[in-house]
Chain A
């Protein structure tokens, strides 16, 4: 524990807060620039003030739940990697599962694990986290502005294919993310476990609310349906645990 204390003092030093703060500032700067440009462009493409307001409110409402989950997992990362690094990594590039894994790989490469970090293993974990996430940044830097071409390729130039690609990609990706909830520890299928019920109810409630909000054109429900579905599903899972 003695060495542990020592590296955590370093990990939580003011200098580390400054270093992490500069990196986080880039994320903030980008979102402010993009937000302002989009607000300016909105009327030019025929969006009404009301549509923009709906987008802002629905996203703000929907962000709160996931942020709290990230917050709770950040606290668990904070114990091993210190506050500045955890804060930077989860506001910037990273995601919850990735960070602990990457730091663990780095520690492993120095012959230890996250529970028994030495200063040098901590450093190696940090390098691994950072280098391991560059792939997303570099791919985005190089190809984001050319991705319309991928879409064009998938749709074979047929305009009507575009919404089908969107739906297919989203349904495929989120079915994949959700699928893990339908398996037991022994890797057989289940639909009675708490996570699977949370998932099924989240999905079912969202389907009903989306349909109702759309057909009856209920404005407030359009903004709240995602948050309601998410928290009700969570609650069902909690009750069924």
Chain B
């Protein structure tokens, strides 16, 4: 299940095969939103088909925190003040460094050393105030150990569904938008079963069940048509187009850049 920014690397390393779409008749290119499918195609060939898309924002327990947060700048400020000891960042360099960069007015995908140095300075200043550096933030948010965390759409939707006091916010200063895909590894031992599963998952009647359980939005308009009104009108799952405008897709180099990996290690060991 590769995310958008890994597909070109997997292709370059020869880890995934071109998909034989004749074996996935339930997949329909026409009803897919091209914004979320283009990174599955390389040189006109389809290597991956989308599972769902989403964003990286933050979840706030509004019964614990009074501050109204609207940006990553707010996030990194409140984490050091009102949410001291109660904030979480991902154990994932792409989103943690990316969001820190955004809060400073830089691009999510920056690999410029001077911008990364500023992000590092911020993260190291914030670290003593954090509750945890962990991408498994749902347990801590549900137990109210943490009051504020970096958060992906699907987790935000699940948390808000069960605890309405937990809100989900997209940074108005930027952040990440992503698509998760399905791909088949080149040396998969049972490709026929892989295609059968893929075709099953691409059937809108099955995809809608996955959507309802997981919470992340779909890329396929056939699935949207099957969704109940309360999901399609849920602003966590389907935010206004305007709030998506400042968001950026992660880039392949952002993930593989050794400078960012070392920055993350220095942050975690500081």
Q: Do A and B come from one complex?
A: no
* Interface residues of B, Cβ cutoff 8 Å to A: none
